[in-house]
Amino acid sequence: MKFIQTIFFLLLAFTFTNCKNKTKAEVIEETTVEIPKLKALILDGENNHGIWPKTTFMMKSYLEETGLFEVDINRKAFTWIGPHYNEIEGVDDINKLLEMYPLNDGVERTAVEETKKDLNFSPDFNKYDVVISNLGWKSSHWPDTTKTNFENYMKNGGGLVIVHAANNAWGDWDEFNKMIGLGAWGDRDVNSGPYIFYNDKGEVEQDPSEGICASHGAQYEFQLQTRAVDHPIMKGLPEFWMHTKDEMYDRMRGHGENMTILATAYSDIEKNAPPWMKDVSGTGRHEPLLMAIDYGKGKVFHSALGHMDYSFECAGFITTFQRGAEWAATGNVTQEIPKDFPSADSTSVRKWAYKPVN
């Protein structure tokens, strides 16, 4: 669907010769100007978070409702609904999500039990101002040429948004690891880089010790702390805000080159301990959950938030996602802070409903 933004210029022409009777002397000229939208591309099709067909459409509508973006979706040829998901409201079989959120693009796709490399995967990245990855843990590798094309697209000023498990993908793709600053799982280990976090004194610290890459506890509502108050994505946001139920990633590893930590959350030793791993606790550190990374001339917004659809419905998630995508695309943020942004002690939920587009 083509969106056209219309601006009305009112040109007032005054006649000074006969002021007394010239109340209608203004000549109003109406001019229509088309302002090009930013072009965004969402990549999906393989994610251990089986909710992905829905979260892709959520992200598409979040971007479109800013009035700034038009959004395409590139879905992999071999679709994989992963094993990790929680109960989804109104859905008894997670595989039905693919039918509920179809692309209707005439492309035939095959659902697979294990992720499978698509040798023809080759989006034209250069058509887009920003690429959003909804490809998660175990996503298949892209063909080498596609990887190189993407690296060049980013080095030359492209934009990338990483959401939650998108940072689990491709631990052995060095350039991707540089783009995302910090990664989780994906066979990452001490060689992937140190743990990076804020300490209680408000300083960024690195810990190069050995140990697992990434963990999280059971899901709960937790508080984000803004760290980069002057960054365009964060400017005007409160210092503290409550996020809806989600996983809190901790122990992410990476070199964090050219990375600004935008916001952190505190991983409590007990509360963020995975109940399914008796020898792992929370970290007692303030863990980076929103990051901005410069990669060549390109820009990356990385949000580790977003485990489930209800996590996406947080007004804080939505706002930072929308602002982060604009920043990754242009380097600026023009959006206002919404009135329903969460406060330090209460969450703010925007219930999302699918509105099919013809």
Number of residues lying near Zn ion (CB under 5 A): 2
Which CB atom, from 64 or from 309, has the smaller least distance to Zn ion?
A: 309
Stretch that binds Zn ion, among 91-99, 240-248, 265-273, 281-289 (CB under 5 A): 240-248
Residue 72, burial from CB neighbour count under 10 angstroms (0-12, 13-18, 19+): middle
Phi, then psi, of 192 in degrees rounded to 5: -80, -15
**Shortest Cβ 247–Zn ion spacing (Å):** 5
Per-position x/- string for 55-74, each x denoting binding to Zn ion as judged by CB under 5 A, each - no binding: --------------------
The one-character DSSP state at 174 is: H
Which CB atom, from 247 or from 309, has the smaller least distance to Zn ion?
A: 247
Stretch that binds Zn ion, among 74-82, 224-232, 306-314, 329-337 (CB under 5 A): 306-314
**Shortest Cβ 116–Zn ion spacing (Å):** 22
Question: What are the distances in angstroms from CA 253 to CA 163, 190, 282, 284, 287?
Answer: 16, 8, 15, 16, 11
Hey, what long-range contacts does 197-203 have (CB within 8 A, 24 or more apart)?
197/264, 197/283, 197/285, 197/286, 197/287, 197/288, 198/227, 198/261, 198/264, 198/285, 198/286, 198/288, 199/285, 199/286, 200/286
Residue 116, burial from CB neighbour count under 10 angstroms (0-12, 13-18, 19+): middle
Which CB atom, from 45 or from 217, has the smaller least distance to Zn ion?
A: 217
The one-character DSSP state at 336 is: P
Which CB atom, from 164 or from 286, has the smaller least distance to Zn ion?
A: 164
309 scored as a contact of Zn ion (CB under 5 A): no
**Shortest Cβ 6–Zn ion spacing (Å):** 41
307 scored as a contact of Zn ion (CB under 5 A): yes
Residue 256 forms beta bridges with which residues? none
Which CB atom, from 16 or from 276, has the smaller least distance to Zn ion?
A: 276
Which CB atom, from 128 or from 137, has the smaller least distance to Zn ion?
A: 137
Beta strand residue intervals within the chain, DSSP E: 38-49, 69-84, 110-111, 130-133, 159-163, 195-198, 204-207, 220-226, 240-246, 259-266, 286-295, 298-303
Which CB atom, from 47 or from 335, has the smaller least distance to Zn ion?
A: 47
Which CB atom, from 76 or from 245, has the smaller least distance to Zn ion?
A: 245
Stretch that binds Zn ion, among 112-120, 125-133, 166-174, 243-251 (CB under 5 A): 243-251
247 scored as a contact of Zn ion (CB under 5 A): yes
Question: b/e string for 42-56 if b means 16 or more Cβ within 10 A?
Answer: bbbbbbbbbbbbbbb
Stretch that binds Zn ion, among 89-97, 132-140, 256-264, 300-308 (CB under 5 A): 300-308
**Shortest Cβ 48–Zn ion spacing (Å):** 8
Stretch that binds Zn ion, among 89-97, 198-206, 241-249, 291-299 (CB under 5 A): 241-249
250 scored as a contact of Zn ion (CB under 5 A): no
The alpha carbon dihedral of 100, 102, 106, 107 has a sign of negative
**Shortest Cβ 264–Zn ion spacing (Å):** 18
Q: Which of residues 98-127 bind Zn ion (CB under 5 A)?
A: none
**Shortest Cβ 165–Zn ion spacing (Å):** 6
Stretch that binds Zn ion, among 87-95, 218-226, 242-250, 257-265 (CB under 5 A): 242-250
Asked if 35 and 13 count as a contact pair (C-beta separation under 8 A), the reply is: no
Q: Return all residues near 113 (Cβ < 8 A) that are at least 6 apart.
A: 80
Which CB atom, from 64 or from 247, has the smaller least distance to Zn ion?
A: 247
The CB-nearest residue to Zn ion is 307
Asked if 273 and 218 count as a contact pair (C-beta separation under 8 A), the reply is: no
HSE-CB at 103 with a 13 A cutoff on CA atoms is 19
Which CB atom, from 163 or from 263, has the smaller least distance to Zn ion?
A: 163
CA distance 117 to 114: 10
**Shortest Cβ 212–Zn ion spacing (Å):** 16
* List of residues contacting Zn ion (CB under 5 A): 247, 307
